[in-house]
Amino acid sequence: MDDSIKTAYLISPSEGDECITPTKKILFEFLEHRNDFPLYLYFSDEYVLRERRQQLFQLHDIDYTIRTVYPNRKHHMDPLVYFTVELKNKEALRRVVHETYWLGEENVFYVISNYDNLKFTFVERRHWGFQQYLSVASFDRTHPSVLIEPGHDGCGFFICSNDVSMNSLENVIQNMPEEIIIYQINDELYEPEDEE
């Protein structure tokens, strides 16, 4: 993590084996409570379902772009195709995330940001013990940014931010709607400090 990202948190429900539905509920409540629209959803078109996604967005008048990033010609790889979807309000957020969150559950690239600030590049890196040419996402963080990415298999979500509203655990908790009850942080039970 570079120096511009000051904090990272994992928000995760604790309701037994089924974690996807409560994760989405917390995610919606958190983003709607912040009311920081428009938001931008990025996801890769790994399953080549482009036409189905385009139909959904066009049907509901949701702005989107499809970008293609081509690797260097010396590497024989397919280009990376990804969507940028502008979520202008709560209704668009709920509709699009309900239809696409399964990509996060499949561990496909899936990120929500409060700025349209993503770029992909291809870089040569060591991955799984081999030198490989990989696509890497980078975010312009000159503006205070909040990036949200689903946890493994879509359970919980990570919040990475350089925004002062997220620079401490207390601020993150204050950014949560009242309906969300924080009762454990790491292995410690959480008890809010009494305000004097």
Does a structural domain hold residue 191?
no
- Residue 64 phi, psi dihedral angles, 5° rounding: -155, 160
pTM: predicted TM-score of the whole model, two decimal places: 0.84
CB 147 within 8 A of CB 140: no
* pLDDT in single tens digits along all 196 residues of the chain: 445 666 778 888 865 568 888 889 889 999 999 999 999 999 999 888 899 999 999 999 999 999 998 877 666 677 889 999 999 999 999 999 999 999 999 999 999 999 999 988 888 888 788 877 778 888 888 888 899 999 888 888 999 888 888 888 788 888 887 777 666 565 555 565 654 4
Number of neighbours of residue 114 by Cβ within 10 angstroms: 20
Does a structural domain hold residue 82?
yes
Reply yes or no: is the peptide bond before residue 177 cis, omega within 30 of 0.
no
CB 149 within 8 A of CB 9: no
Domain assignment of residue 84, given as a range = 7-184
Domains in the chain, number: 1
Angle at 39 between CA 28 and CA 106, to 5 degrees: 60
Does a structural domain hold residue 2?
no
Largest CA distance in the chain: 64
Does a structural domain hold residue 138?
yes
Does a structural domain hold residue 190?
no
User: Which helix (DSSP H) or strand (DSSP E) does residue 84 occupy?
Assistant: strand 80-87
